[in-house]
Amino acid sequence: MDISPAPGSLPNPLSLNQIGNQATPGLDGPNPQILTPAANDSLPANLAGANLPFTPSLEPSPLAGNHPVGGLVDVLFNQGKLSQTQYDEIKVEVASSNRQAEDIIKEKEWVAEDDLAEAKAQYLNVPFKKLSDLTVSPEALNLVPQPVASRYQLIPFSVDKKNNTLSVGMVNPLDLKAIDFVEKKTGLRLIPHLVTASDLTIALEEIYTRSLTTEVTEVLKESGELERRTIDVSQLGEVIREAPIAKIVETLLTFALKSRASDIHIEPQEDRTRVRYRIDGILHEKLVLPKRVHEALISRIKILSRMKIDERRLPQDGRFSFRAGEEVDLRISSLPTVHGEKIVMRLLKKSAKVPQLPDLGLRGRALKNLEDAILVPHGIILITGPTGSGKTTTLYSILSKISTPRVNIITLEDPVEYEIPGVNQVQINPQAGLTFASGLRSFLRQDPNIIMVGEIRDRETTDLAIQASLTGHLVFSTLHTNSASGALPRLLDMQAEPFLLASSMTAVVAQRVARRICEHCREEYTPPPEVVQDIKKVLGSLYDAWLKSRPPSTPPSLHRGKGCTECSDTGYSGRIAIFEVMPVSEKIGRLILERSPAGVIEKMALEEGMILMKQDGYLKVLEGITSIEEVLRVAEV
Ligand SMILES: [Zn+2]
């Protein structure tokens, strides 16, 4: 992989004011994160200790009374996870076969693996950890080599040097032999957490072999010297060019690409540095680094992106590109926080292909209405939604659809995220005076047919967009409103003239992006009646139409992702947008003239056949594309 700094970027000579700001590395070791301090604190005793607060048998004694207190079967029964019949059946089998209750429950598959493990954890009085909640620190991993972890079936995930403890996930937290061995080897007291067998298998396979954590752990090991050495200011320049820090930056970028991340966040906290990736729109904590590498890591990234490394009190922007199989542009921004500088890197893939409108999730009447609107040679089409709702991607899809050698398309963007062949794309630069408004003004002298302005956020841009549309241009832009109908009152609030607005608007699209259910672990389930009621209420006649498309007398079922290795146990992979497309009809134009509120406009649009964003989402839920939780998460903003 090449990391090429932007042209002209040379490391700044170190200045004196770095001395004062220089962190004092080498004082103490890092203080790795404690994931569940409360649970750890309340743990009655070290399980390896002599006084176990429970008996190491997981089954209630067959000789005990009907409901022996604290038995695994009883815990499950009391939680409502087992019915009375199932409870009785297990009792009988335990008594007659001498088998463990846990094995019988597993064999009968009456209880989900997670529920069973959670009940077992409660019964054993140890904390329960799911793989998705597990952040493994490289240092913890470093303490227990993979063969040992595999042999003793445990995954180390966090070290607490102050209290001399190591937290581990185990399928059998009562395995005293394993606990004893690892305690002797590490010299730390073990705090066992219960994990499911399938989570442990994934953890041992993935976290130990070629994960971000392992790679960085390796680098940190190589940089053992760096760990111990007190970094002198005169050496800082050398340290940040040194292999380990450069390697960590490379590794972070390579893994971000591999895991389809759109952004990398490097965040200093009081005692550690947290690295999170945004994947499918959601942040995931991927790595915890010792605080001592923070300064050097940030400086390395600042040098690559041409920022001033000695400026730590003001936010800065920069960019660089790197190649790992494909070329990626990175937009970097830094922000001073109380614990140090935070860096966010946005990855913009050069080869990223612009998706077609149907790939985004547009279909049926909404797709047809939008396609009709973009064929009109003039007018304004707006895409609305909050930040991160996929507006820009939709605009790119539209532009690539209408880009032909016969039309002149100019865009004003912040930032240019994809490059579209044949389109003149301009990056705004407010510091140099190139804003959306000033750019738009000069555009009109460039004889364009189609103009895309990244965002309408003030009166000046609104007026220019209207003027452009009325002089025969097709104008696309975005606006921050929650619904399609809300865009029109918002533009009137920005002092748009109602008559001109009504004559220039062609269509408004509102959208959000939801995660797709992972296809590798999608499962069907029967939703609770109140969820079905909610779906019926939101969809109205659309629900009846959907019911008719199904074989009669099948109960309504929904889908969800169970979580698997393909989706890093999240149950989701990839994204799908949900839309409402509102053509500005004659009747809606009249409502603009009357300065009608959004509610009145929306009612008219519904009468004219618009499907609301939430309805579109619910239809995608019924089809098993996304989950009801996702639609509620994104649509109710
Ligand atoms: Zn999956």
Please give the residue that has the higher pLDDT: either 139 or 581: 581
Alpha carbon of 517 to ligand 1 centroid (Å): 8
- Out of 56-65, 182-191, 218-227, 623-632, pick the least confident: 56-65
- What is the C-alpha to C-alpha distance for residues 253 and 322, in angstroms, rounded to an integer? 9
Which pLDDT belongs to residue 59?
Answer: 41
Structure tokens at 555: 């109960």
Dihedral of CA 602/603/608/611: which sign?
A: positive
User: Do 568 and 286 touch, CB atoms closer than 8 A?
Assistant: no
> Which range is most confident: 259-263, 264-268, 291-295?
264-268
Rg (CA), the chain: 29
Instruction: Say if pTM beats, i.e. exceeds, 0.75.
Output: no
Q: Are 170 and 195 in contact (CB under 8 A)?
A: yes
Ligand 1 centroid vs 373 CA: distance in angstroms?
A: 38
Share of the chain above pLDDT 70, in %: 84
pLDDT band at 223 (very low <50, low <70, confident <90, very high): low
pLDDT in tens, 557-598: 899 999 887 787 789 999 999 999 999 999 999 999 999 999
Q: How far, in Å, are 397, 411, 413, 478, 508 from residue 381 at the CA level? A: 14, 14, 16, 8, 6
405 pLDDT more than 60: yes
CA of 282 to the centre of ligand 1 (A): 16
Strand, coil or helix: what is 611? coil
Residue 39 has pLDDT above 50, yes or no: no
Average of per-residue pLDDT values in the chain: 82
421 in helix, strand or coil? Answer: coil
Q: What percent of the chain has pLDDT over 90?
A: 43
Residue 102 is predicted with a pLDDT of 84
Structure letter (DSSP) for residue 206: I
* Ligand 1 centroid, distance to 21 Cα (angstroms): 45
Q: What is the pLDDT averaged over residues 117-131? A: 87
SS3 state at 233: helix
Q: What residues pack around ion ligand 1 (CB closer than 5 A)?
A: 518, 520-521, 564, 566-567
Tell me the CA–centroid distance for residue 353 and ligand 1, in Å.
24
* Three-state secondary structure of 388-402: CCCHHHHHHHHHHHH
User: What is the distance in A from the centroid of ligand 1 to the CA of 562?
Assistant: 6
How many Å apart are CA 357 and CA 401, to the nearest integer? Answer: 9
Beta bridge partners of residue 247, listed in sequence order: none
Tell me the C-alpha distance between 357 and 269, whole Å. 41
More confident: 174 or 221: 174
Above 70 in pLDDT, residue 208?
A: no
Q: pLDDT tens, 502-557?
A: 999 999 999 999 999 999 999 999 999 999 999 999 999 999 888 888 777 677 78
Q: Which is it for the CA torsion 95, 98, 103, 106, positive or negative?
A: negative
Q: How far is the CA of 205 from the centre of ligand 1 (A)?
A: 16
* Alpha carbon distance 535, 539 (integer Å): 6
Please give the distance, rounded to the nearest whole angstrom, from the Cα atom of residue 172 to the centre of ligand 1.
25
For residue 239, the model assigns a pLDDT of: 54
Do residues 572 and 625 touch, judged by C-beta distance below 8 A?
Answer: no
Pairing of strands 450-453, 474-479: parallel
Residue-level pLDDT at 236: 53
